[in-house]
Amino acid sequence: AQTVTQSQPEMSVQEAETVTLSCTYDTSESNYYLFWYKQPPSRQMILVIRQEAYKQQNATENRFSVNFQKAAKSFSLKISDSQLGDTAMYFCAYSYDKVIFGPGTSLSVIP
Amino acid sequence: NAGVTQTPKFRILKIGQSMTLQCTQDMNHNYMYWYRQDPGMGLKLIYYSVGAGITDKGEVPNGYNVSRSTTEDFPLRLELAAPSQTSVYFCASSRQGTYNEQFFGPGTRLTVL
């Protein structure tokens, strides 16, 4: 069965600094999709970034980028120039036939 | 576009009562999902639908039922509410395939006492 693990329940970062959130997953499939979703205190889930497993190039969206290591089944999220609005829960998700979410990492950006 | 809307936002139920959580999307998405999020946890898939008239179980379907008579609506029914069903419930939708971005509703906070 596919599983998604996020080993950092809580993290904090100073405003304007860089932080990396970790995610590992388990699958026997070769073509799948990975996501990072953000859930701020408002509770609204928002897609941050998406990676297709057949693409070797790491996805980037403005200040957000990923380090996708397919062989290691690792999918970390890097947030550069952290802003106060980045304070949120971050969920890693894996998708093949269904979407499996990890338990989340609570990120606090400190002024 | 309103996106994905859910009603109610909050509800308190007594043990054994039943209720329906409503979910509507106006993006003409074929795929719709119901998740529950327990405190400090990730989302668990309850049921999903790949189109009108087609539904399937997710990870935690026990105690719930769904129907999908139209593309827009995907209600979740709780029969005989139990304290273990206290959670926040999210409805989501996506274009064809789970490989697409999911758009989430604002959630329904349900407490069963």
Q: What is the mean pLDDT of residues A38-65?
A: 92
DSSP B49-72: EEETTEEEE-S--TTEEE--SSSS
DSSP A15-64: TT--EEE--EEE-S-SS-EEEEEEE-TT---EEEEEEETT--SPPEETTE
Provide the domain count of chain A. 1
- Backbone angles phi and psi of A84, in degrees to 5: -60, -35
pLDDT on residue B99:
81
Domain layout of chain B by residue ranges? 4-96
Give tens-digit pLDDT for A92-101. Answer: 999 988 889 9
Contact (CB<8Å) A45/B101? no
Tens digit of each residue's pLDDT (9 = 90 or more) over A8-40:
999 999 999 999 999 999 999 999 999 999 999
Q: How far apart are CA B5 and CA B23, in angstroms?
A: 6
Task: Name the band, by pLDDT with cuts 50, 70 and 90, for residue A2.
Answer: confident
Residue range of the domain that includes A54:
3-110
Instruction: Report the CATH number at residue A91.
Output: 2.60.40.10
State the average pLDDT for chain A.
Answer: 94
Query: Of A75, A104, A91, A79, nearest to A14 (Cα)?
Result: A79
CATH 2.60.40.10 fits B4-96, yes or no: yes
User: B41, B107, B15: which is closest to A46 by C-alpha?
Assistant: B107
DSSP class of residue B73 equals B
Question: Hey, are the CB atoms on A98 and B58 less than 8 Å from each other?
Answer: yes
* Closest chain A C-alpha to B48 CA, distance in angstroms: 9
Neighbours of B51 (CB within 10 A): 13
Q: Summarize the confidence of residues A35-53 as an average pLDDT.
A: 93
Kindly report the CA angle at A29 between A50 and A19, in degrees rounded to 5? Answer: 35
Instruction: State the Cα–Cα distance between residues A106 and A10, nearest whole angstrom.
Output: 5
Give me the pLDDT at residue B39, please.
Answer: 82
DSSP B72: S
- State the maximum Cα–Cα separation within chain B, in Å, rounded to a whole number: 38
pLDDT tens, per residue, chain B with 113 residues: 789 999 999 999 999 999 999 999 999 999 999 999 998 788 999 999 999 999 999 989 999 999 999 999 999 999 899 999 999 999 999 997 778 889 999 999 999 99
Looking at residues A39-57, what average pLDDT do you find? Answer: 92
The answer to whether A76 touches A21, Cβ cutoff 8 Å, is yes
Which residues numbered 15-44 in A keep a CB inside 8 Å of some CB on B? 32-33, 35, 43-44
Q: Chain A: give the shortest CA distance to residue B7, in Å.
A: 15
